[in-house]
Structure 1
Amino acid sequence: MIRKLIKRNLLQLLLFLLAIGGCSTGKQVATKGNKSLTETIEQRFKHASTQYKLLMEELPEDKLPKTYVKANNFLETSGSDWWTSGFYPGTLWALFEETNDSVLLKEARRTLKLLAKQQTNDKLADLGAIMYNSFGTAMKIDPQVSYQKTLVASAKTLMKRYNAKVKAIRSWDTRQNDKEFVVVIDHLMNLELLFWATHATGDSAYYKAACNEAETIWKNHIRPDYSTCQIVTFDTKTGKVKHKRNAQGYNDESCWARGQAWALYGFTVLYRETSNPTYLNYAEHIAEYILNEPNLPKDKVPYWDFNAPDIPNTYRDASAAAIMSAAFLELSGYSTNNGKTYFKAGEAMLETLASPEYTALLGANGGFILMHGAGYIPVMAEVDVPLPYADYYYIQALKRYKMLTMNSSNLNASFRYP
């Protein structure tokens, strides 16, 4: 206990020294882009790293961070089987790559050990996102045979949930699995693991399953105006649609902002992995819906649902903005006609997130980086709080912005497998 207090006091001293040193005099690393971002981008990585060092000091050894409740100074955690468990390790790896900080590396490796046991958990529908965001990120930075074996095993396990009739991976188990098959738009984020698995093993079954799920989601979750529905339930035996609904949106006809973000990111990944222009077309349609939505604020951080009736007096969602920013920045490198528009959108979102309005002060926010995430508003769960996936995609967006503004000739190269 005394040792922990000493460490905490040393961290607080470091935070104080960083604060009085000022965060407004960062090193310029870019030749184009928004000056307020490019001139301080390295300082933002340092800020994020310092926050995560504070967060790791408060984290129980067998848990992963879920959120922080400021009102009672409570760090809420989860086990390795919770859907957000891969984001914290993934963020640590990304920050280590930028800072070369051995403390972050040690923690990143430690948390992978917590997740490894999930590689055979066929009840875990989020397995692709959990394992790829963590082990997949690690493979890009510090490739290890053990990481590769874990990822391959995870992909095999995830495929056990695939249904050839529905042409998708089962998102949620129900009491009537034999009659109903639930697919949620969130689980587009599983598909990167399947594409990786085909690359690693040469087995095209993973690739085909990923593309099949994408088509199932496009046909059933994407509306004619290119807004999204979160949940579609199919008949398990026939593959026909039984009903559609939004659990985390305002109502079944509204457009939940994070669902739209998942769709933008997911179809951008699909184009990256397949070079199929159809997926680029899908991503661009989804992007245009976001940018033309009348209720998108000028600062580009969306309200939790684009159709919430109490706009503008309702919650923003930093997590949706972070996901969108990362996706827009990647998409800008693929789109011939709209690249500049998408870059500016991703940049605007990132600039807002990097501002004091959304980025926590050093030492605050329980160690998380971003504030004002919106988890599950309809049931008032995780409301206006930090979220690990918001941090993950924020750091990813920062990294992509840095590459783009340094005149990287091929952003796509940053996604290639080791």
Structure 2
Amino acid sequence: MFRVSCFIMGFTLLFIACKPNNGKEKNVSLSEEQINNLLQIRYNKLLDYELDSMAFARSYNPKTGILNKVPSSNWTSGFFAGNFWQIYMLTGNEAFKERAKAWTAFVEQEKYNDKTHDMGFKVFCSFGNGLKVEDNTEYKDVILHSAKTLSTRFNENIGSIRSWDWNEDVWQFPVIIDNMMNLELLFEATKISGDSTFHNIAVKHANTTLKNHFRTDGSTWHVLDYDTISGQVRARVTHQGIGDESAWARGQGWAINGFTTVYRYTKDEKYLDRTVATANYFINHKNMPEDGIPFWDFDHPDIPNTSRDVSAAAIVASALIELYTYTKNESFLNYSKKVVKSLKSKEYILSEDIEAPFILDHSFGDWSQKLEMDEPIVYGDYYFLQTLLRLRDLKE
């Protein structure tokens, strides 16, 4: 059932580009044939997962054997649908396309959900990937409606889209760096409709983030709280990092990926400069391990005795392939290749006997709630697959 011809060709190209490092890494690389076979098995685990509109696979706890299933309202639902689209684009297997359509349909109701800023994660990772496969008018309508809903969270006085509605006794108007990843939906809505309102909101949000969210060393804070009357910053804190002044690895990834996207749509050099500075901070950090998979927080006091974050590495690796096309900076492309090589090893790829519908292990979730710390998480897979697609497209 599973067609692997173009799949094998793609990975052959990737392995030619990624030279071994003479055994200096602790993890053991698999052979090309073993990787193809194991990824085929891991992909089929997703295909075998039962369709259920209330059970998007989010993460898996290997210690308890519990699979974390969530409804479409969860911010990660679009990643699971998107993974099927991306595997279809990698393999050409029609079975994944059909499953992608089914899981994507379950997300559609989120176009009405105005209680969240995660519209891009949910809708664009699902319907947006679907549009890459087929010119679907209904998908365009969902994206446009979702952009209208997301726009209701924009505050003109502050110049940002509100992130969270909870913790109101502490925060007036919280904006998290993750929110940069939801701007692609707005940019695409303008392309679809011709209505520049969405584009302008995305640019204003990016400009406010650019002005306030970054430290002088290139790193970013996680959460900024704004005064709703003056529009000024009230506090710069973290919610998922180890400390308010630390560099939470996935947060740096959201910044790098998000501003690369903004540059794609605007070609404004200030966004490119911001992305390059934060990317250099990330890949050249003194605490970056040799294999390119960062610790979940660059400033964790227990380094090296703390967890890595595969998702942060994949988010950045994907972004840096695109960033390379704008800058021709070989260090960005080399980092992405290093990450792919590392992730296709016994250290990070799930073994065939694990039944959970995931590909990679060792992503890191939410420190604040002590949840999903060092587990397979759906967005780690999503950005890994996106990285593979971008490397393939770059070589072609």
TM-score normalised by structure 1 residue count: 0.86
Counterpart of 2:320 in structure 1 is: 328
1:86 matches 2:101 = no
Counterpart of 1:205 in structure 2 is: 197
- CA distance in 2 between counterparts of 1:203 and 1:157 reads 14
* Pairing 1:174-213 to 2, within 5 Å after superposition: 174=166, 176=168, 180-213=172-205
Structure 1 residue 291 displacement after superposition = 2.3
Aligned match for 2:363, one of 360, 363, 373: 373
* Pairing 1:140-155 to 2, within 5 Å after superposition: 140-155=132-147
Cα–Cα, structure 1 residues 146 and 43, in superposed 2: closer, same or farther, change >3 Å?
farther
Q: Which moved more, 1:41-50 or 1:388-397?
A: 41-50
1:51 matches 2:42 = yes
Q: State the AA in 2 paired with 1:348.
A: K
Cα–Cα, structure 1 residues 47 and 26, in superposed 2: closer, same or farther, change >3 Å?
farther
Per-residue Cα deviation, 1:9-63 (whole angstroms, up to 9, x for no partner): xx9xx9xxx9xxxx99997346962157xx9879857744532432343446121
- CA distance in 2 between counterparts of 1:266 and 1:120 reads 24
- Equivalences, count: 384
Cα–Cα, structure 1 residues 126 and 41, in superposed 2: closer, same or farther, change >3 Å?
farther
Cα–Cα, structure 1 residues 42 and 310, in superposed 2: closer, same or farther, change >3 Å?
same
Aligned match for 2:354, one of 338, 343, 364: 364
- CA distance in 1 between counterparts of 2:170 and 2:94 reads 49
SS across alignment from 1:104 = helix
Counterpart of 1:158 in structure 2 is: 150
* Pairing 1:109-124 to 2, within 5 Å after superposition: 109-124=101-116
Cα–Cα, structure 1 residues 323 and 365, in superposed 2: closer, same or farther, change >3 Å?
farther
Q: Which moved more, 1:274-283 or 1:25-34?
A: 25-34
Cα–Cα, structure 1 residues 47 and 199, in superposed 2: closer, same or farther, change >3 Å?
farther
Structure 1 residue 327 displacement after superposition = 0.9
* Pairing 1:5-404 to 2, within 5 Å after superposition: 28-29=12-13, 33-34=17-18, 47-59=38-50, 61-62=52-53, 63-174=55-166, 176=168, 180-336=172-328, 339-364=329-354, 366-404=356-394
- CA distance in 2 between counterparts of 1:45 and 1:108 reads 21
Counterpart of 1:415 in structure 2 is: none
Cα–Cα, structure 1 residues 46 and 220, in superposed 2: closer, same or farther, change >3 Å?
farther
Cα–Cα, structure 1 residues 224 and 77, in superposed 2: closer, same or farther, change >3 Å?
same
Q: State the AA in 1 paired with 2:319.
A: A
Per-residue Cα deviation, 1:94-136 (whole angstroms, up to 9, x for no partner): 1111212122112111111110111111112201221001100
Structure 1 residue 278 displacement after superposition = 1.2
SS across alignment from 1:227 = coil
Q: State the AA in 2 paired with 1:270.
A: V
SS across alignment from 1:248 = coil
Per-residue Cα deviation, 1:272-292 (whole angstroms, up to 9, x for no partner): 111111111111000111122
| Unmatched runs of 5 consecutive residues or more in structure 2 | 21-29
Contact persistence 1:26–1:42 (CA under 8 A): no
- CA distance in 1 between counterparts of 2:17 and 2:362 reads 25
SS across alignment from 1:243 = strand
Per-residue Cα deviation, 1:290-314 (whole angstroms, up to 9, x for no partner): 1221001111100000000000000
Q: State the AA in 2 paired with 1:288.
A: N
Counterpart of 1:411 in structure 2 is: none
Cα–Cα, structure 1 residues 108 and 25, in superposed 2: closer, same or farther, change >3 Å?
closer
- CA distance in 1 between counterparts of 2:252 and 2:264 reads 19
- CA distance in 2 between counterparts of 1:345 and 1:27 reads 17
Counterpart of 1:414 in structure 2 is: none
| Unmatched runs of 5 consecutive residues or more in structure 1 | 1-10, 409-418
SS across alignment from 2:303 = coil
Please tell me the root mean square deviation across aligned C-alpha atoms, in Å. Answer: 2.7
SS across alignment from 1:28 = helix
- CA distance in 1 between counterparts of 2:254 and 2:9 reads 34
Per-residue Cα deviation, 1:157-197 (whole angstroms, up to 9, x for no partner): 00010110111111001364998111000111101001101
Structure 1 residue 380 displacement after superposition = 1.7
- CA distance in 1 between counterparts of 2:80 and 2:279 reads 27
Cα–Cα, structure 1 residues 40 and 272, in superposed 2: closer, same or farther, change >3 Å?
farther
